[in-house]
Structure 1
C-alpha cells in the first residue's frame, strides 16, 4: 500500500490523537455550544426584543434548518476540494455571523443572523465527522467517535453553565460575543494544527448530477438509512428537551436561570460518561448490540418523562428519566455514525452530510410539535420525546441488519 496522508494519520501517536480529538470535538460541539449557551437567556431575550417565547424558539428551528442546508453543501465540497478549505471558510462565516447575532436589533434580524451562523457551523460538524472516517475504520473509528464525545459532550455540560453565569455580568448579547471568540479560536487551531487528511487522488469532482446521484444511492441503502434515522430520531428527542426545557424547568417548575443551567449541564455530563463507557465496551461487544441497548435506554427515558409529566410528579421524577434519555446520545451517536459510515470510505463527506441533514431536519420538527401543546405543562415535551425515541428503536429493528466489520490492520 502506498504511503499517503491518510496512512500516516492512521498511525498517529497518542498525543496526535488527543490533538485531533480536541479540534474535531470542538468542531462537533458547534451545535450544542450555539444552542445551549443561550438557552438560559431566552426569557430575557423575549423581553428585550419585544417578542414572544414562540418567536424566540423560531431562532432554534431556523438554526437547525441552516445546519441541515449547510451540511448538504459542505459535505460534497469537502469530498471534492479536501477538508481544510471548506472548513476554514465555514469558521470565518461562523465567527462573523455570531457578531451579527450580538448586534441584532430585532427578533427578525436575529433569526437571519442565526441562519448564517448555522451555515458556518454546519461545515465544522459535517467535515469533522468525515475526517474521522478518513483517519479510521472499524472498531477504531467507533472508539474515536466515542473519544469525541468526551470533548463535544462537554458542550452541553459547560455551555448552559457558562451562559447562565455570563448573564450575571452581561446582557444576552455577550453570549454571542463569546461564541464568536470560540469560532476564532477553532479557526486558528484548524489553520495551524490540522493537516489535510484527504489526498488529492481520493477526491471526487463536485458536480451537481454526481452529488444528487450519490445522495440518491445513500438514501436507497436501507441499512445506512436505518442507522441514520435511528440516530436522527434520538437527536430529535434530545432537541425536544433542548427547545422546551428552558420554559418547562424555569416557568413550570420555577427554576432560576442559574439552577436551570446546572441541571442542563448535569444532563450533558451524562453524555460524556456514556461516551466513555461506550469506548470501553466497543470491541468487547458488537457496535450493533451497543446501539440497540442505547436505543432501548432512550425509549425508556422518553416514556419516563411522559409518565412524570402526565401525572404531575415532583421534579426529581422528571429529571431522572431525562438523564437517561440525554445520556443515551453518548452511545447512540458513535455507534450509529460508525455503522452508517463503515461502507462509505470514498464518499465520507456526502454520507456525513446526509447523516447530519436527517438529524437536524428531524430535530427541527421538535420545536413546533412541542409548541402545539402550549407552554404551561411538561406533557407536550414528554409526548414528543417518547414518540421520537420509540420510533427510533422500531426503525433500527426493522431497517438495519448485522454486517461483518473488518478490523483495521
Structure 2
C-alpha cells in the first residue's frame, strides 16, 4: 500500500486561499474526481505545506483584492521561493481594466469578479491547468515586474544603507530609548506598502504617535490638508477588521501603526471612497504625535528604519514614495500608474520641491511630480536629489 505522503504527491491539488462562500461557490463546478481541493489560510500556510508535504498543486485560487495580502503580493512571494509555476487566479470584489492589467503583468493567470458564474470559473480553470505549459511557452510570459533597478543604483543603495546603519547605530539606540521612555508601545512599526511595479512589502518606521492614535482620527478628519468639499461628509472610521482580514482570521494586515489598537487602512478607505475623497491623508500639527515623534518627523529621522528596506532591496535611497494599499488601489488609472514604474525610495522629487518652503502641496501636484520622476530618473539626477534633500529635512512646517 502506498503511504499517505505518496498519495498526496500524486494528487492533482487546486489550492484555495482565504476561501469564503463566494470562492467555494465559484469552484463547486470543478470536478472533484479529477482534482483534490485543499484549503489554506494564507500564503505562508500554502508555501509551508506545499514544501513540507511535497504537494502536487496544479492551480491556486485566492480570495483577495488584486493589490492585497493574498493577491499579487502572495504570488510574488511564492515566486521568490522558487515553487512550481502553476496558474494563479484571483477572485475579487473590485476590478477594473487597469487593475486586471496590473495583475496579468504580475503573472496572474486570470482575475474573476465575485459574481462570475461557477461554470465560467470552472471552464477557465480547467483550460489553463490543461494548457498552462503550452501557453507559457507560446507567450514567453515574464511574470516579473517590467522595471529592473540598474546595477549601479543597487550597488550604491547597498553601500550607502549599510554604511549609514553602521555609523548611525549609537544614534539609533538613543532614539529607541527616547521613544520607549516617552510613551508605551512598540519602538518600530511596519505597514504594507506598494512600491515598484505594484510590489507589496513591509515598510518600517519609528513610531511617532501615541498608542490608540487611531481612535482619535475620526475627530480630526476635518484637518486633512488634502480634504475636498465632498469629503467633509465622510463617515466615521470603523475600528474593526476589514473583510479580507476577518476572512483570514488574523489581525489587521493593513494598519498604519503597530499599536495594540491599530486601525485598518482599507476600512477607512471604504468610507472615503463613498465620499469620493482624496488619496492622501495629511494633518498639520497632528495632536496624535508625541513630542519625540514630532522631532523625529520634522527632521525625517522617523524614516531611518527604511534603510533596512533599502538594504534588503524593497526600496532605493531615491525614488517615489511607496504607498499604502488603499492609496495605490486608487492610482491604477493611466494618468497615475506611471509612478509605479520608477524605484520606490526614501526621498524623491516631491519631497525636495515644496517640502519646507511654507506652501501646501496639493494631491495633484504630488502625483504629477511622481510621474515626472518616473519619466526622467537617472543615477546622476538621484545624486542631485540627495543633496537637495538635506536642507529639506529641517523644514519649517510640521508634516
What TM-score do you get using the length of structure 2 for normalisation?
Answer: 0.26
Where relative contact order (Cα < 8 A, 6+ residues apart) is larger, the structure is 1
- Structure of higher CA gyration radius: 2
Whose strand fraction is larger, Structure 1's or Structure 2's?
Answer: 2
What TM-score do you get using the length of structure 1 for normalisation?
Answer: 0.26
Whose helix fraction is larger, Structure 1's or Structure 2's?
Answer: 1
